[in-house]
Amino acid sequence: MPISFERAFSIHDDALLLRGQRTSILASNIANADTPNYKARDIDFDAMLRSASQQQDGRVVMASTHRDHIARQSNAMQPGLMYRNPLHPSLDGNSVDSHVEQAEFSENALMFQTSFSFLNSKVTGLMKALRGE
C-alpha cells in the first residue's frame, strides 16, 4: 500500500491552516475593538473546511450549471469573510464585542492545538513506519 500524505493527514492539515488564518481575523477584531465604524468579521469555519478538503489541489472552484460557464478559480486560502451580527448596537458604529472575540480566539487557539496534535501524531506515526522500528 503506497503512503499518501494526502490520505495520511486527511483534513488535519487544512484545518490547521484555516485555524491559523482565523486567528488573524480574530486578532484584527480585537485590535480594532476601539475603532469607530469597524465591523467585526469572521469565517464560517465548517463551510470553509469542507470546501478546502474537497479540493485536492487546494483551490476552490465555483459550481457551474452550464457547460459553457468559465470556471473561475479562487484561492482557497482567502476565506469567505462574513460580518458578525453584533449583540448590541454601539454609538460609534463599531460591531466588535471584545468578550465574544476573546472567547472565539481562545476557542480557536485550543482547536488549533487539537488539530496540531492530530497532525503531529500522524507525522510521528509515518516517521515510525519509515524507520521500521
Partner 1 sequence: MGLFANFNISGSAISAQSVRLNTIASNLANVETSASSEAQAYRSRQPVFQAMLGNHTRPGEVGVQMLQIVESQEAVNRRYEPGHALANEEGFVFGSNVNPVEEMANMISASRAYQNNVQVLSTSRDLLLRVLSLGS
CB of 86 to partner 1, least distance (A): 16
Residues forming contacts to partner 1 in the complex (CB under 8 A) are 16-17, 20-21, 23-28, 30-36, 38, 41, 43, 77-79, 81, 98, 102, 105-106, 109, 112-113, 116, 119-120, 123-124, 127
CB of 70 to partner 1, least distance (A): 23
- By C-beta, is 41 or 51 nearer to partner 1? 41
How big, in percent rounded to 5, are the helix, strand and coil portions of the chain?
Answer: 50, 10, 40
CB of 66 to partner 1, least distance (A): 29
What distance in Å separates the CA atoms of residue 87 and residue 102, rounded to the nearest whole number? Answer: 15
Query: Across 8-103, where does the E strand assignment appear?
Result: 41-43, 59-61, 73-75, 81-83
Q: What are phi and psi of 131, to 5 degrees?
A: -75, -25
- By C-beta, is 23 or 53 nearer to partner 1? 23
* 16 within 8 A of 116, measured Cβ to Cβ: yes
What distance in Å separates the CA atoms of residue 63 and residue 69, rounded to the nearest whole number? Answer: 9
- By C-beta, is 26 or 52 nearer to partner 1? 26
CB of 13 to partner 1, least distance (A): 10
- By C-beta, is 11 or 109 nearer to partner 1? 109
